[in-house]
């Protein structure tokens, strides 16, 4: 029926020839869903709903009724009835005028039609069942679809949520039903198992349970507040990253949160990025914007002085907070926010230094991922589209040289990577690290990208060995990316059970009775003092509550504390601690000195666990 080649240009990026059939099944299942809902609840108005990477959803205006989670089973049964009817899915092209009549009374469909009307005299609709016959259904749709309702595979309705019409909080709140479908039952069962794991490890759930971050409506949606536990982790990783960069010759700077409009005019952001920027502020007859990126200010710092080839490579890092206006319907915990801090760096170098700089960044990436404990990841090389040269700024020959160098560096490092032709930004090719979570979710973490745009816009130069002015190459480099998005991935990857070296609370000391509180505090003091000697921040605490020991142990396990130390009269007498390790249980009593040495070794080595 609907073929990949006929729809390729209008499909989402994640759809390819291999998963095209599954995409069609989900698209058709979406039509079966809204037919089932409208049969059960005739008052609702259908709005919109696309297939997505792991399923599909549809938005409805429920009117005066309320559709709840309890209704999903009933809707599923109705969908099964529709599937058994084996209704054909039929495409029809109709005039704009006929479409307005067909969808009269549905303001959501009429809004779409009015937009299509600007570019076309016709629209396409798909019928579920024979067109214009009793019991058939029609919806405004571009397709593609499978041939019949019986071909939508094994499906499951997943959840209900609220969603603003077209993701804009200024619009009406609609009811959204999420669902999925797969070709066979096993694939569906595997997905549901992974989804269950994903829900258990959801960073918003764990973030709340462990007091890592919070979002207050009074402060603003999409503007997370790092709570003491979360900030303790973040601070450890900030210090780690600053130290790693210093070891590789980086210097660090900090630029203001707001910049004048003329800076963003020069960088081009006001020309192509304004919709994602916060509204301007008028101060002393000048216009300012919250910065959406750190790069323009970084270019200004480079241009402060006349640079020589002897100054290059020049590597400047910044933990810079930026602000981007995201629609409220698209905000999601720490993954999609309006204010976030980037682990930014800009490397200014000559063409001859490009390979060595890429090699160094790859070395830094390998060190970082080993220390953080990530093992399941690959590299993606995003290249220009050779058939669409006008899309990109800069010299095509320079692009080719840089792309060849990037490929060479990846090959030299014997790294698994995938090439993505046409996925480069207009200003330069890039290498992304795609890390994969335990339930198969993939996220871009690190980025290493050449920029052919800003050096021209800011007229960056250096004087070469012949006294001639040349244009430096600029590499944007972010190992962590944004701390917020990285932490969302990190929380879900570990399920809150973080490695010792960056866990928010590393040790909890439990006195068996009030008589042992003094010794518990002594242990706490000794551990922190020994940590300071080695320039380490030991995050330990004493639980002095009047609770049973069993209750305290359980609370420590719920908090996912790596080590719980139990101290009583016997431990105090022998200068010992009884050790419980997260995930391993009781390890027995050891001398305080032995525990201290093991603890410091594990933190310094960033090992996952030295206790067996």
**For the segment 135-171, what is each residue's pLDDT rounded down to a tens digit?**
789 999 888 999 999 999 999 999 999 988 988 878 8
Mean pLDDT of 287-295: 95
d(CA 201, CA 405): 39
d(CA 239, CA 202): 26
In terms of pLDDT, which residue wins out, 524 or 415?
A: 524
CATH of domain 217-255+294-494: 3.30.930.10
The answer to whether 289 and 259 have CB atoms below 8 angstroms apart is: yes
**Catalytic, out of 34, 203, 269, 476:** 476
**Catalytic, out of 46, 195, 315, 346:** 346
Position 359 scores a pLDDT of 94
**Catalytic, out of 295, 338, 357, 449:** 295
Task: Pick 500-605's CATH classification: 2.160.10.10, 3.40.50.800, 2.40.50.40, 1.10.443.10.
Answer: 3.40.50.800
In terms of pLDDT, which residue wins out, 481 or 157?
A: 157
Q: Is 324 a catalytic residue?
A: yes
d(CA 54, CA 501): 34
pLDDT digits (tens, 9 = 90+) for 200-244: 999 999 999 999 999 999 999 999 999 999 999 999 999 999 999
Answer whether residue 375 shows pLDDT above 90: no
Answer whether residue 198 shows pLDDT above 90: no
> Domain map of the chain by residue range?
4-200, 217-255+294-494, 258-293, 500-605
H or E, element range at 483: helix 483-494
**Catalytic, out of 78, 315, 342, 357:** 342
Asked, as a colleague might, if the bond just before 234 is cis with ω within 30 of 0, I would say no
Answer whether residue 253 shows pLDDT above 70: yes
3-state secondary structure of 340: strand
**Catalytic, out of 139, 344, 432, 451:** 344
Instruction: Please write down the long-range contacts of 201-205, taking CB distance under 8 Å and 24 or more positions apart.
Output: 201/437, 201/438, 201/439, 201/491, 201/492, 201/495, 201/496, 202/333, 202/492, 203/333, 203/334, 203/335, 203/487, 203/488, 203/489, 203/491, 203/492, 204/333, 204/334
Answer whether residue 6 shows pLDDT above 70: yes
7 — pLDDT class (breaks 50, 70, 90)? confident
Burial of 110 (0-12, 13-18, 19+ CB in 10 A): middle
The fold adopted by the segment(s) 4-200 is 3.30.980
pTM: 0.83
Q: Is 269 a catalytic residue?
A: no
Position 547 scores a pLDDT of 92
d(CA 323, CA 328): 14
**Catalytic, out of 34, 176, 269, 430:** 430
Q: Is 539 a catalytic residue?
A: no
Which residues, in sequence order, are bridge partners of residue 288?
260, 281
Q: Is 332 a catalytic residue?
A: no
Position 436 scores a pLDDT of 83
Q: Is 464 a catalytic residue?
A: no
Position 327 scores a pLDDT of 83
Q: Which of 5-9, 316-320, 557-561 has the lowest mean pLDDT?
A: 5-9
Q: What is the DSSP string of 360-410?
A: HHHHHHHHHHHHHT--SEEEEEEE--TT-GGGS-S-HHHHHHHHHHHHHHH
**Catalytic, out of 26, 324, 485, 552:** 324
Answer whether residue 516 shows pLDDT above 70: yes
């Amino acid at each position: 029926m609907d073929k990949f080649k006929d729809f390729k240009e209008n499909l989402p990026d994640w759809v390819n020839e291999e998963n095209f059939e599954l995409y069609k099944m989900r698209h058709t299942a979406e039509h079966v869903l809204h037919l089932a809902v409208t049969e059960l609840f005739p008052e609702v108005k259908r709005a919109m709903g696309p297939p997505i990477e792991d399923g599909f959803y549809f938005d409805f205006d429920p009117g005066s009724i309320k559709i709840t989670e309890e209704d999903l089973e009933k809707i599923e049964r109705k969908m099964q009835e529709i599937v058994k009817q084996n209704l054909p899915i039929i495409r029809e092209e109709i005039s704009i005028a006929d479409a307005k009549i067909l969808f009269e009374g549905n303001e959501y469909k009429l809004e779409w039609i009015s937009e299509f009307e600007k570019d076309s005299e016709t629209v396409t609709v798909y019928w579920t069942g024979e067109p214009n016959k009793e019991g058939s259904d029609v919806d405004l749709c571009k397709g593609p679809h499978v041939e019949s309702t019986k071909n939508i595979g094994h499906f499951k309705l997943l959840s209900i949520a609220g969603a603003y019409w077209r993701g804009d909080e200024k619009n009406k709140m609609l009811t959204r039903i999420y669902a999925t479908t797969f070709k066979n039952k096993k694939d569906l069962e595997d997905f549901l198992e992974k989804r269950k794991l994903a829900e258990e490890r959801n960073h918003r759930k764990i973030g709340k349970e462990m007091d890592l971050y919070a979002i207050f409506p009074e402060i603003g949606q999409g503007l997370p507040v790092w709570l003491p536990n979360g900030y303790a982790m973040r601070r450890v990783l900030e210090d780690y990253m600053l130290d790693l960069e210093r070891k590789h010759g980086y210097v660090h700077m900090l630029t203001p949160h707001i910049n004048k409009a003329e800076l963003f005019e020069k960088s081009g952001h006001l020309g192509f990025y304004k919709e994602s920027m916060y509204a301007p502020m008028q101060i002393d007859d000048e216009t300012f914007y919250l910065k959406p990126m750190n790069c323009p200010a970084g270019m200004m710092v480079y241009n402060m002085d006349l640079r020589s080839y002897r100054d290059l490579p020049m590597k400047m890092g910044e933990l810079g907070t930026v602000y981007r206006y995201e629609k409220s319907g698209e905000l999601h915990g720490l993954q999609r926010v309006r204010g976030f801090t980037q682990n930014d760096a800009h490397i200014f170098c000559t063409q001859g230094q490009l390979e060595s700089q890429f090699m160094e960044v790859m070395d830094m990436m390998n060190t970082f991922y080993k220390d953080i404990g990530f093992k399941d990841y690959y590299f993606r090389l995003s290249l220009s589209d050779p058939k669409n040269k006008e899309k990109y700024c800069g010299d095509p020959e320079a692009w080719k040289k840089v792309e060849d160098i990037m490929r060479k560096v990846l090959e030299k490092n014997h790294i698994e990577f995938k090439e993505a032709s046409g996925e480069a930004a207009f200003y330069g090719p890039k290498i992304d690290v795609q890390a994969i979570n335990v339930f198969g979710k993939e996220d871009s973490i690190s980025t290493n990208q050449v920029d052919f745009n800003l050096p021209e816009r800011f007229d960056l130069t250096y004087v070469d060995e012949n006294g001639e002015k040349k244009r430096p190459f600029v590499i944007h480099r972010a190992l962590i990316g944004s701390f917020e998005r990285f932490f969302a991935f990190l929380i879900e990857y570990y399920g809150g059970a973080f490695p010792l070296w960056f866990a928010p609370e590393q040790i909890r000391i439990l006195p068996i009775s009030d008589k042992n509180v003094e010794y518990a505090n002594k242990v706490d003091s000794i551990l922190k003092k020994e940590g300071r000697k080695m320039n380490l921040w030991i995050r330990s605490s004493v639980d002095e509550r009047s609770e049973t020991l069993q209750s305290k142990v359980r609370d420590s396990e719920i908090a996912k504390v790596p080590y719980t130390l139990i101290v009583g009269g016997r431990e105090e007498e022998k200068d010992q601690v009884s050790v419980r390790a997260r995930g391993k249980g009781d390890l027995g009593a050891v001398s305080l000195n032995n525990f201290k040495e093991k603890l410091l070794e594990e933190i310094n080595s960033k090992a996952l666990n030295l206790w067996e």
